[in-house]
Amino acid sequence: EAGVTQFPSHSVIEKGQTVTLRCDPISGHDNLYWYRRVMGKEIKFLLHFVKESKQDESGMPNNRFLAERTGGTYSTLKVQPAELEDSGVYFCASSQTAPGWTGGEKLFFGSGTQLSVL
């Protein structure tokens, strides 16, 4: 079974540019999450999709971030315009059911996208 895949693995852009990160969850997983780890600090929640709907976007830092999940399959996270403080690692995770219900072993993370804004 293929895991959660993220693309690109690394992205280096200049301040003010736009970057789009992509996440392909495990097939059949309705829940898709975005998290990020900035400057080696803790991993922070960004948002949660259930199929194509945003269930919780309370972690999105500001309106420069836009997440979509058209058709309820893959998701994109766009940062426009990027700022220096956006640098970090962006993780995507997916699960068939919410982790609080069935267990953390059902939540699978991708390898992340390392974003560097110069």
Partner 1 sequence: GESVGLHLPTLSVQEGDNSIINCAYSNSASDYFIWYKQESGKGPQFIIDIRSNMDKRQGQRVTVLLNKTVKHLSLQIAATQPGDSAVYFCAETHGTDKLIFGTGTRLQVFP
Interacting residues toward partner 1 by CB under 8 A? 4, 9-10, 31, 33, 35, 37, 40-45, 48, 55-56, 58-59, 89, 91, 93, 98-100, 103-105, 107, 109-112, 114
In whole angstroms, the minimum distance from the beta carbon of 17 to partner 1 comes to: 21
Residue type present at position 15: K
| CB of 16 or CB of 111, closer to partner 1 | 111
| CB of 61 or CB of 99, closer to partner 1 | 99
In whole angstroms, the minimum distance from the beta carbon of 95 to partner 1 comes to: 8
What is the total residue count of the chain? 118
Locate the DSSP E strands across 3-112. 5-7, 10-13, 19-24, 31-37, 43-50, 53-56, 65-68, 75-79, 88-95, 108-109
In whole angstroms, the minimum distance from the beta carbon of 110 to partner 1 comes to: 5
Residue 19 to residues 52, 77, 96, Cα–Cα distance (Å):
21, 8, 28
